Amino acid sequence: MYFRILTVLIISIILNSCALKKPANNTLKPSEVVFSDKLGCPLPINYNKNFINAITDWLGVPYSYGGNSKKGTDCSGFVQSIYKKVFNKILAHNAVQISMKASKIKSQDLEQGDLLFFRINKKQIDHVGMHIFDSYFIHASTKKGVMVSDQKQEYYQETFAFYGKIN
């Protein structure tokens, strides 16, 4: 009996750990997706290398209100820095102002670097992140600094406002 329970538990762990590395986006074949160990999420094979390298360099940078450097940054300062370096676009250092410059887009039209806007305090846009792939995005969290999160988490589903593209 003990051996049977142990076997079922091991098989369950193996199956669940494999499932974590599969993207939920079914539009790509498994052969068209790679897993980024640094970011902890899947990427399409044809990912934007400049964007991925730039955001990876920022992982773990601590949160600092009003900051936009690798010593400390807030969400809009992080987005502002990446957009300047990778996309050669100058953005405001304010989530509301960035959201006003963005064209709303649908989830199926998301590309790497497109923006996700959130209403954490429910009144106005007060948080911004950048799309990586599938439901994964990168942002500067007040508690954990620059990190990758999954939009499927309940907290992000509840606070999500819209997707945006900077033209």
Q: Which of 41, 93, 131, 139 is catalytic?
A: 139
pTM of the model: 0.81
Is 131 among the residues known to form the active site? Answer: no
- From the candidates 41, 75, 93, 131, give the one annotated as an active-site residue: 75
User: Among residues 41, 93, 127, 131, which one is catalytic?
Assistant: 127
At 10 the three-state DSSP class reads helix
- For the stretch 36-70, pLDDT in tens is 899 999 999 999 999 999 999 999 999 999 999 99
Which residue reads 């599969």 in tokens? Answer: 22
What superfamily does domain 47-165 belong to in CATH? Answer: endopeptidase domain like (from Nostoc punctiforme) (3.90.1720.10)
Q: Across-strand partners of 129?
A: 116
CB neighbours (10 Å) of residue 5? 9
- Output the CA–CA distances (angstroms, integers) from residue 163 to 75, 89, 108, 124, 137, in the order listed: 15, 18, 10, 15, 11
Q: What is the pLDDT of residues 86-125, one digit of tens each?
A: 999 999 999 999 999 999 999 999 999 999 999 998 889 9
